[in-house]
Chain A
Amino acid sequence: MTTINPSARKKIKAGSFSLNRFGPGAQAAFHIILALFSLLCIIPFIFVVIISFSSEESIRQVGFSFTPVSWSVEAFTYTFRLGNALWRSYFNSFLITIVGTILSVAITILYAYPLFRKDFRFRGFFNFLSFFTMIFGGGLVPTFVICKSVLGLSDNYAALIVPMLFSPFNVIIMRTFLQTAVPTELIEAATIDGSGEYNTLVRIVLPIVKPGIATVALLVALSYWNEWFLSLLYLNKNMDIMPLQYLLMRMQRNADFLAKNSSMLGADAAKAVAQLPSQSLKMALVVFIVIPIACAYPFFQRYVVAGLTIGSVKG
C-alpha cells in the first residue's frame, strides 16, 4: 500500500488530473481508508479465534492477546467433553434453522405469487394486510402474551420457529424477483394451455425465480441461525431445546453456568470444574457459532446482497 505523496494531494485539491478517474494519490487514500475499515470488520473474529487457541496460563499472564505466550487446543477438546449441553444446542440450532427456513420460504412464495399476479382480485387486500404490519404492531408484550397463552408457543420448538415464519420484507423481495423475472404472457399462455394455478407456480414460475428463492432462503436461514430473542422470551423451563446462540448468551449472564453443566460429567466433576479453561472455552463456542456462517459466507454473499438491495429499495 502506498502513502499519499504531497504533490498528488496538491493535484487533488487543484483538480488538475484525469477527468474520469481520481488521481493515484486519491486512489491510494481510498485504498487505505477502505482497507483499514475492512480489517476492523474481521479483526474481532480473528482475535476471538486466537483467544480460543490460547492456553489458560497465557490468559492469566498477558490477558486476551493477539500474541499469546503459549497455545493450546484445550478449549476445543473441552467442548467435546462438555458433551450434551453443547451438542444438543448445536443440533437445535440446525433443526430450527432448517425447518424454519423450509416452512418460511414456502409460505413466502405462496404469499408473494398472488401479489405478483396483477389479475388477482384480492391483490390489494392481501398487499395491505402484509404492508400494514410493517408500520404498526401490537408491541412486544401483547404479542408475547398472545403467542404464549393463546397460541401455546412456550417451551417448544414451535415457539422458536413460528414467530419468525413470515416477514413482509421477504414477501416484497420475492414479489420483486417475480416481477422482474416472470413475464405476464408466460402465465397467460400457461393458463390458456389449461395449466392450474398451482401447476403454473410449481412447474413454470419457480424454476425461473430460483435466484430469488435462494436469496429469501438465505436471509431466513441467517435470521434463524442468529436468533436468541425468541429463546429469551419463550424458553423458561425446557432448556433441552435451547439453540446455540442462547446457550452462549446464558453463559455470559451466568458465570458458573459452565461449572453447573460440567457437573453432568460425573465422578471427577469437581476436578473437571477446577481445570475448566472457562475463558478460552467461551471464545471457542463463539468460534463454533460463527464457523458455519464464515464457511458459507463467500457463497451466499452475492445472493444476500442482491436481495437486500431489492428489499431496501422497494420496502
Chain B
Amino acid sequence: MATPLVVSDVAKSFTMHLRDGIKLPVVAGVSFSIRSGECAVLGGPSGAGKSSILKMLYGNYAVDAGQIIVQHEDGLIDLATASPRTVLAVRRLTIGYVSQFLRTVPRVSALDVVAEPLVERGEDREVARGKARALLAQLNLLEKLWALPPATFSGGEQQRVNIARGFITQHPILLLDEPTASLDASNRDVVIALIAAKKAAGVALLGIFHDHDVREAVADRVIDVTAFAAGKIAA
C-alpha cells in the first residue's frame, strides 16, 4: 500500500510575544504515517494538540521542527518547509481538509461554497454544481437552503455544507477535524458512509472524532497524541 503522508519528529510551540514572550509547548516528536485506504484517528484529551497537528499538516500552522513528507503529483514535498505557493498547490490537488467550522463568504451560495474546490481544480462549474447538489442531498440539507449563503444556517447545517465541500474532490489525503460534532444520528451515519467510500477509493484519511460511535465505525487505528506531549520529551 502507498504511504502518501509521513510525519517525522514534528514539534510545535507558541511564543506569546504579548505575554512577555512566554513559550507554550504543544507537541514534540510527532511521528506517524498514513497509508492509502486507511482512516487513522488522532486520540487524546482536549488540549493534547490534535487540532494543532492537523493544522500543521494543512500548512495552516507553522512547524518548529521536523518533516511532513507528502506525495504530491509525481514527487515528495516537505510541507514543513514548503513555500506558500507549494502549500497552495498541495491543498488544491493533494490534501483536503474539513475544518470544525465553516468560514463563510458573504453572498456566496451554499451550493457554490461546496462546488468551489472542484472549480479550482479546473472542473466545469455546472458539472461541479451537479456533484454539489448530489452531496448536499445525500447529507439531507434542505433543498431550499442551497441557493442561500450559509452564514445564517444552524451549526449542523453549516457543518454539512463544510463536509460536502471537503468530500466533493478526490484529494488523495483527507484531514477531518471533528466533522460530526454537531450532527444528528442519521447524518452521522451519512458521514460514516462517506468516509467508508473514501477509504474504498484509496484515500488516506486522518481525523479527530470525539464521538465514540463514529470513531468505532471508521477508525482503522488510533494514534495516541499524548505520546507526543511536549513536556514528555527531555529538553
Question: Does A pair with B?
Answer: no
B residues apposed to A, CB below 8 Å: none
A residues apposed to B, CB below 8 Å: none
